[in-house]
Amino acid sequence: MTRLPDFRLETYFSRWEFTARHHLTASDAQTMAMSELLNLADPGDRRAWETLALGYTETFGDPGLREAVAGMYELAGPEDVICFGGAQEGLNLAMQVLLGPDDHAVVVTPNYQSAETVPLSICEVTGVALDPGRDWALDLDAVVAALRPTTRVLSVNFPNNPTGKVIDAADFRRLAELCDERGIHLFSDEVYRGLERDPARALPRAADLSERALSLDVTSKSLGLPGLRIGWIVCRDRELRVRLERAKHYTTICNSAPGEVLARIAVKARDTILARNRAIVAANLPLFDAFFARHADLFEWRAPDGGCVAYPRYLGADGVEAFCTGLVEEAGVLLLPASVFRSELTPAPADRFRIGVGRRDPAPALEAFDAWLAGRHR
């Protein structure tokens, strides 16, 4: 196993996330106060919160939380759920359990950095890039060409971070079929599911399509509750779930008891929370459409299919890295430049930046952005 590189996104955030005046690249939906979440609790969960003992919890996760999570799936039950300290722990341990030095993985790019760097620290990895020239389309033939007899994992993320792309459901089902035909585990990062602009485009849960597939989810993104630090993997392969639990013994052992009770409340109230967050995105998008229309000479903009991030193109001669640096240093508006999302596996556009559309009231940030652009072009 090789040493993991610095996590570029978190390194960038450590400098700017809590000092920039306008966090315009947030990847999570608008959060809520503790009181708002507790107001969504049923009487049993409210009592559980008020009488909670702060002891150890079950390694697989709170039974009530696992039951609530299973309610989001058609074929999986509570016994098919294992909870983690956020999605990052689940992703990391899954790759360690599924892959060995002689194995091979295929990862779709662009992505959240650990989706490729963790497998790369274990074995050989091939990337398959979404095509920016075709609305970030995924070429299924390229996926097939990348597979080998030693391929053990195909890792995907839809709605995609950072592009907001959602592929067709038929293509997603075909990915699951390809994996089953070849004895490969489909690892599906589904943390933005539920924030599709068109709800009819929501993809099936991978764990419902195949007993070998793993569905990764978390309270952080679509539900907008990253402070809970609770994620989960759903997989109907019992032997694999046991291996994941054994791996967790070496990391968090168990999750935060308060976090799991609050996550249980959130998952049960997911329809209400997701409707709220979809409404925020829907109200925000016309503001972003209008902003980028005013600056069509500088940007190519496309609203995301799903999730709450988009990946516009910057057309300025100074380049996206200098542009993002100047914007945050001079106007206090934080965006993430393309270098944060570069891949060791595939060529990646160097003229893009990630922008967030899921936080309430982006108008002040867009106004500061507007003013900075106007000042540059006097």
One domain, residues 321 and 208: no
Distance CA 137, CA 280 (A): 27
Among 269, 292, 311, residue at a domain's last position: 269
Tell me, yes or no, whether 251 and 306 share the same domain: no
> 183: domain CATH number?
3.40.640.10
Residue 296: pLDDT band (50, 70, 90) is very high
- CA 109 from chain centre, in angstroms, equals 13
pLDDT at 3: 85
pLDDT at 2: 72
Residues 262 and 121 in one domain: yes
Domain boundary among 205, 236, 269: 269
**Sign of the four-CA dihedral 198, 270, 40, 25:** negative
SS3 30: coil
- The pTM of this model reads 0.97
Q: For residue 276, give both structure tokens.
A: 């709220």
Q: Are residues 77 and 112 in the same domain?
A: yes
- The answer to whether residues 148 and 226 belong to one domain is yes
In a domain, 14, yes or no: yes
Same-domain check for residues 55 and 122 = yes
Same domain for 286 and 153: no
2 found inside a domain: no
Residue 378 has pLDDT above 90, yes or no: no
Percent share of the chain, pLDDT over 70: 99
DSSP state of 41: -
Q: What is the pLDDT of residue 377?
A: 61
Last residue of one domain, picked from the residues 251, 269, 287: 269
335, 353 in Cβ contact below 8 A?
Answer: yes
Mapped onto helix, strand or coil, the DSSP state of residue 190 is coil
CB atoms within 10 A of CB 309: 25
Asked if pLDDT for residue 219 goes beyond 60, the answer is yes
Query: What is the chain's mean pLDDT, rounded?
Result: 97
Query: Quick one: 167 and 239 in the same domain?
Result: yes
- Residues 282 and 296: their CA atoms lie apart, in Å, by 21
Say which CATH number the domain at 343 has.
3.90.1150.10
Range of the domain at 16: 8-33+272-376
Question: Do 236 and 368 share a domain, yes or no?
Answer: no
What pLDDT shows up at residue 288?
A: 98
* pLDDT tens-digit series, residues 111-133: 999 999 999 999 999 999 999 99
Beta strands 22-23 and 333-334 are: parallel
In this predicted structure, what is the pLDDT of residue 1? Answer: 58
